[in-house]
Every structure is written in structure tokens, then in C-alpha cells.
A and B are shown apart, each in its own frame.
Chain A
């Protein structure tokens, strides 16, 4: 799960990570009020869940409260297109109004988990403001990492090591190490998968501040962080994906093709998409129905898929292990009655309780073309979508 910059900064501030003064505004008038509180000069930043906002015109400097109001008027309600939003862009609903920060140097600092070791790392770079992937590709020697032992936790010597490598010396050393310790504590306690400060700045008056903040939270840990869950902004997510989650399907990703997929297991779901593509078609979605043996979930999945107007055929690919084919069949039959499905269905069923599932489907009024294997299923689905087109 992601949060907005202003929310990330509030969370940071609560952990002692220094951030510029400022607040969020949803109207130009509010933006003006905040700018006045800040003394007039301010920066107005569009709040969307995507980076590269400056490039798309979503970040504006204001010399006084009038300019802040005018900037907010321009930005709130605009569809902001950045390298990360895709060409359709994102509607801006709020802005962060912040004090201006005179910047001496821009750095990068992040806490994340190194999946190759399973250990957390603090990663710093002297090339702030750039995407870290870009720095890794063009200037890898600018990146410094310290691995943290999760049993012992972050140690000040590791902070000093990283601070010296980034040139945070003299009066900056102590606040830099404290900031790193606070960032790590936040990262662990809030179950982040990424806590990134880019840029981390040294100001003209020699302070360090998190000028921007990007947080990703581990969805698997959401159950123990109701405070973080409350920050979720569903407007930033695809409406069909939000609906899928509300209906118990956590693994639905909308794509651009016309063959809807209902599959059990993430790997098989990806492989099914690959098979469709190899057969000359395009998948309309990734969907892992997972293993909850509940026919209603199949109904919900088919409901979501058929709400996508692009979908011209449905491929159901179930290889039952923990999921049981009879339960899936019950769901398909129920969906057929409740949703009056009028899209051709190709079903490839195998695994646990197959015989019973097939018997149920055959005894029902469901019209679906059966396929023996994945290749055949993909070919039949592509043909069905082509015929319906």
C-alpha cells in the first residue's frame, strides 16, 4: 500500500525524522491560509501516488499567499501526467503547501529489504533527486549501503559509516545518524517494504530535512496497522481493483487486453497470461483466485471481469491443489445464474476433486468450452475472443 507525500511526512515527523513545515489543502483558499501561516513564500505540491510530479507541472513555487492560492487553483483538479502515471495521468485532488527550503545539497536515503539476503539495508546516495535505479545504472559508486542485523537492529556506527560516505560530517554527523536511526525504527515498526527520502537535503543553514518522502507498506502486515490502513486513498487506485479487494480478491490487476482470466495461483495466473499472448491474444487482467474455498469468490471474480467492457472471452484455468475444482464449479454455476454471463467461457480444470467438479458443470446449464491443457485453453480463448470481436 502507498500513501501520499503529506501523509508520509506526518508519519516521519511523529518518528522524529525532520520534514519541512506545511499542511495539505484541498481548496485554493485553504492553500492561501497555509501559505500565510508559513509566512507567504511556499511551495505547492500536487498529491498523487506517483513520482516525477515536477516534470508534469505538479510542483509550483509561490512567492506569497496570492501566488500559492493561484498555484493551488491551477493544480487542484488538473490531470497530472508524469513518467510514472502513464499517458492517462492522474486527477489531483489535494496539494501539500510547504515552506520553501533553501537547498545546499541533495542526497538520497532509503530503508528497504535486500531480498537476496533477507536482511534490511539502509541505502544512501550522494546523487539526490534522481531515481535510484538511474543512479545504479549510471553512477553506481555514488551508492552506499549498510546491512542491518535484524536481531541487533540499527547501530550508530553504521549510521556514521553511511553519513561519512555521504559527506554528512561536522555538525551534520549527529543529526544524520539520529535521522537514520529514526527512519529504520519507523521502517520496522510500521512494516514498510520501502521508506525512501529523495531528496534528503542539507539546507543553506546546515540542517538536514526530508524534502520528499515515499513509503510502501507490506500489505501482508496491514492487519496490525489500522492507523496506516486509515490513510489509504482509494481514489488513487483502479476502481475495479478496489472492488476486487472489497470482494475478497486481493490479487487482481487490470490490463489492456480482451481475454479475462480466472486462475488459481499467482504463478499459473502469470503463465496463463503468457500462454494467451503466445497464442496471439491479449489478457484483460491478472487474477489469482487464491485458495479460499468459497464459491462466492468465483462469482465475484467473474463479476469483476465482466464489468470490464473490453472483455470478449473468459479463460478459467484451475489446477486444484488447496483449491478444489468442485467448489470452483459451484461458483461458475452460481455466477452463470446470477450474472447471466453472455461472454464465451473456456474452462481448463484439473487437480483436486476434478471429477466431481466436472460432473456438476455437465449437469448444469453452463455453456463452457472445456480444454484439456493450458495450450489448448489459450488457443480456444483467443479464438473465442476473436470471433466475438
Chain B
């Protein structure tokens, strides 16, 4: 088992005919992901990478049968609309890679999805991968290996960084989720921790956070109350100056809130093992797994 996606997951790609959408769709298919349909308005009837393209998501669902997951590469001005289009067809897991969506658009999306049972991952994220089964996103597949450590991160490239260190040490992953670097995201680290906590095939969780907001503190509250599995955490941005947005719209220290120090403190108090260096995510996880008799 795994969380969110597995080898049975039937995937739709919205924006499949775009440059990045196409490049990444090909890699998803190569990885073994079941891409069953694509959607680009006005390109219905074409085929991309052997996958039929539809004008609308509704048509894709009607023609190709049940779709479990949508992967969105639609450019920022139309991305919120694309998410809502997937939601209207009741696609259970919606993964939005797009970076740069206006916050107001995401506010409306979040409101629209509030009472649904749909899961939105992202936006501004690398997607989700269950190694050896299903890659729904943009991550370099070769660095991942199947195993029993769940990885959740706000940043995409830090997923690759952390996972690369794990894989080199022979530590595989159950599922890896990039939740996204925007201030408003569909699924928080806390919610992914809950999924991993309930997943019988995940033994330990690596959580990679960063400065800004209070998502890591919320995650810490959840860990303290519910998680018995070991949690290893790294927080990026210890050296970031206050008041400056560090690339991610959500990564900004405002006043005294959102500092790396306050997040590390909350996570340590909740029982997580803190990595001070981004170069030691792998070795720290290895040490904790040994201590707990998990490897």
C-alpha cells in the first residue's frame, strides 16, 4: 500500500499538449504511470504520446471511464479554473504543478473544495510519487526507490535532495509528496502526516519544511498528539533574512512568526528528530531507523 497514488491509479493530464506538460507526461508514462487521457481545450480528437486528448475533463471522464487522479500543467492564469474543472468531474486526487497562481484564485478554489471529499495537492508543487508504481508530477524518477519511509515536503527540489540521500543509503520510500510552496495549498503537511500515520506500509516519516506561516507548527501539534512512527524533520531557511520572500510566496518571515528556529523548536518538542543540515537528512534518518530497529 501507499498513499494517494499507486500502480492502479488512472491519470488524466490537463495541459498535456504544452511544452512542460508533454515532456513530463512522457516521463510519467515511461515510469509506468497509467495515463489514460489528456485534456487541452481545442485539441480534442488528437493523440499525445499515445494518449487520447479531449476538449473538456467531463468528456475525458465520459469517454475513458473512471479517472482517479488529474495532473495539471495549465499556465497560472487558467490553473484555478482547471482545478475546479477536475473537481466538477469528481476526480478524487487533483495534483496541480503550476507555479504562480494568484492567491485570490486559490482562496476561491479552497473555498469551493472545502465541503468536498476531493484531495488537492499543490499548487506550485512537484507532485506525488509512489516509487516503482506511479509518478504523477515532475520529479526525477531515477532517484526514488521503493521502501517504507514516507516523505512530505513543501519544496519540490528538497524532496529530490532528501530522497536522493535516502536512496543512496539504501532507504526506500513508500510515497513522496510535495505539498507546494504557496501560502494557500490544497493539502497541508499535517494532512499528509495523517495519511502516512495511517498507512501500514509507512514505518517512518521525513518531513521537510521551510520558513513562513505556521504549517510546521500545526504538523507538530498533530505529531505530538497522534504519531508514534519516527518523524525526521528539516526546516529550510535558517539563514533567510526576515521580511523577504524567499522564492516561494509562502516563504517569508513576518515579524517573529515563521522562523526556522520556532518551527524546529515546535517539532523537537513534539518528538521529531531535527536535522540541522540539509546534507544530513539521509544519515539522520538512517540513524533513527536503526535506533528504532526498523532497519
Expressed in whole angstroms, the Cα–Cα distance for A113 and B102 within the complex equals 12
Shortest distance from the beta carbon of B252 to any chain A beta carbon, whole Å: 10
With an 8 A cutoff between CB atoms, is A375 at the interface? yes
- On chain B, the number of residues with a Cβ less than 8 Å from chain A's Cβ atoms is 65
A115-B99 in contact (CB<8A):
no
Expressed in whole angstroms, the Cα–Cα distance for A290 and B156 within the complex equals 11
Q: Which residues of A contact B103 (CB under 8 A)?
A: 113, 191, 193, 218, 220-221
Expressed in whole angstroms, the Cα–Cα distance for A120 and B181 within the complex equals 19
A278-B107 in contact (CB<8A):
no
With an 8 A cutoff between CB atoms, is A251 at the interface? yes
Expressed in whole angstroms, the Cα–Cα distance for A136 and B255 within the complex equals 10
Expressed in whole angstroms, the Cα–Cα distance for A291 and B125 within the complex equals 12
Q: Which residues of A contact B101 (CB under 8 A)?
A: 220
Told that A274-B238, A321-B157 touch, could you supply 16 new A-B pairs with CB distance under 8 A? A115-B213, A149-B111, A150-B104, A219-B249, A220-B101, A251-B246, A253-B241, A253-B246, A267-B236, A268-B158, A268-B160, A268-B236, A269-B247, A270-B239, A319-B157, A351-B160
The 8 Å CB contact of B236, one of A255, A274, A321, A376, is: A274
Give A375's nearest chain B residue, CB to CB.
B279
Expressed in whole angstroms, the Cα–Cα distance for A119 and B112 within the complex equals 12
Give B237's nearest chain A residue, CB to CB.
A270
Bitwise interface map of B from 223 to 252 toward A, beta carbon under 8 Å scored 1, else 0: 000000000001011111100111111110
Give A149's nearest chain B residue, CB to CB.
B111
With an 8 A cutoff between CB atoms, is A286 at the interface? yes
Q: Which of B126, B156, B213 has the most CB of A within 10 A?
A: B156
Q: Which residues of A contact B22 (CB under 8 A)?
A: none
Q: Can you list 20 A-B contacts with CB-CB less than 8 angstroms, sorted by A residue number?
A: A119-B110, A137-B256, A150-B111, A151-B111, A191-B102, A220-B102, A224-B102, A265-B158, A266-B181, A266-B246, A266-B248, A266-B251, A267-B210, A268-B158, A270-B240, A271-B161, A271-B278, A276-B239, A319-B157, A350-B164
A267-B139 in contact (CB<8A):
no
A322-B20 in contact (CB<8A):
yes
Q: Which residues of A contact B104 (CB under 8 A)?
A: 150, 188, 191, 218, 221
Q: Which residues of A contact B97 (CB under 8 A)?
A: 322
The 9 closest A-B pairs by CB, nearest first: A267-B155, A266-B247, A265-B157, A375-B279, A133-B255, A268-B157, A221-B102, A271-B278, A267-B158
A118-B102 in contact (CB<8A):
no
With an 8 A cutoff between CB atoms, is B277 at the interface? yes
Shortest distance from the beta carbon of A31 to any chain B beta carbon, whole Å: 31
With an 8 A cutoff between CB atoms, is A211 at the interface? no
Expressed in whole angstroms, the Cα–Cα distance for A266 and B211 within the complex equals 11
Residues of chain B from 149 to 174 with CB closer than 8 A to chain A in the complex: 153-158, 160-161, 164-165
Q: Which residues of B contact A220 (CB under 8 A)?
A: 76, 100-103, 249
Expressed in whole angstroms, the Cα–Cα distance for A193 and B107 within the complex equals 12
Contacts A115-B213, A270-B211; A275 near B279 (Cβ below 8 A): yes
Residues of chain A from 249 to 276 with CB closer than 8 A to chain B in the complex: 251, 253, 255, 263-276
With an 8 A cutoff between CB atoms, is A374 at the interface? yes
Shortest distance from the beta carbon of B112 to any chain A beta carbon, whole Å: 8
Residues of chain A from 291 to 305 with CB closer than 8 A to chain B in the complex: 291
Name B residues whose Cβ lies closer than 8 Å to a Cβ of A.
20, 24, 76-77, 97, 99-108, 110-112, 126, 138-140, 143, 153-158, 160-161, 164-165, 181, 183-184, 208, 210-211, 213-214, 218, 234, 236-241, 244-251, 254-256, 276-280
Contacts A113-B103, A288-B247; A267 near B165 (Cβ below 8 A): no
With an 8 A cutoff between CB atoms, is A306 at the interface? no
Contacts A253-B244, A266-B181, A375-B279; A271 near B99 (Cβ below 8 A): no
A118-B161 in contact (CB<8A):
no
With an 8 A cutoff between CB atoms, is A320 at the interface? yes
Bitwise interface map of A from 312 to 353 toward B, beta carbon under 8 Å scored 1, else 0: 000000011110000000000000000000000000001110
B155-A274 in contact (CB<8A):
no
Give A269's nearest chain B residue, CB to CB.
B247
Shortest distance from the beta carbon of B131 to any chain A beta carbon, whole Å: 15
With an 8 A cutoff between CB atoms, is A116 at the interface? yes
Expressed in whole angstroms, the Cα–Cα distance for A286 and B244 within the complex equals 10
Residues of chain A from 41 to 66 with CB closer than 8 A to chain B in the complex: none
Shortest distance from the beta carbon of A29 to any chain B beta carbon, whole Å: 36
Q: Which of A150, A220, A291, A320 has the most CB of B within 10 A?
A: A220
Q: Which residues of B contact A219 (CB under 8 A)?
A: 249
With an 8 A cutoff between CB atoms, is A157 at the interface? no
Residues of chain A from 7 to 46 with CB closer than 8 A to chain B in the complex: none
With an 8 A cutoff between CB atoms, is A128 at the interface? no
Q: Which of B103, B138, B139, B245 has the most CB of A within 10 A?
A: B103
Expressed in whole angstroms, the Cα–Cα distance for A191 and B107 within the complex equals 11
Give A273's nearest chain B residue, CB to CB.
B239
Contacts A220-B249, A321-B138, A373-B165; A274 near B106 (Cβ below 8 A): no
B157-A264 in contact (CB<8A):
yes
The 8 Å CB contact of B246, one of A119, A188, A269, A376, is: A269
Bitwise interface map of A from 162 to 203 toward B, beta carbon under 8 Å scored 1, else 0: 000000000000000000000000001001010000000000
B279-A378 in contact (CB<8A):
yes
Expressed in whole angstroms, the Cα–Cα distance for A265 and B214 within the complex equals 21
B277-A265 in contact (CB<8A):
no
Expressed in whole angstroms, the Cα–Cα distance for A231 and B101 within the complex equals 22
Expressed in whole angstroms, the Cα–Cα distance for A263 and B153 within the complex equals 17
Q: Which residues of B contact A149 (CB under 8 A)?
A: 111
A218-B239 in contact (CB<8A):
no
Expressed in whole angstroms, the Cα–Cα distance for A346 and B110 within the complex equals 42
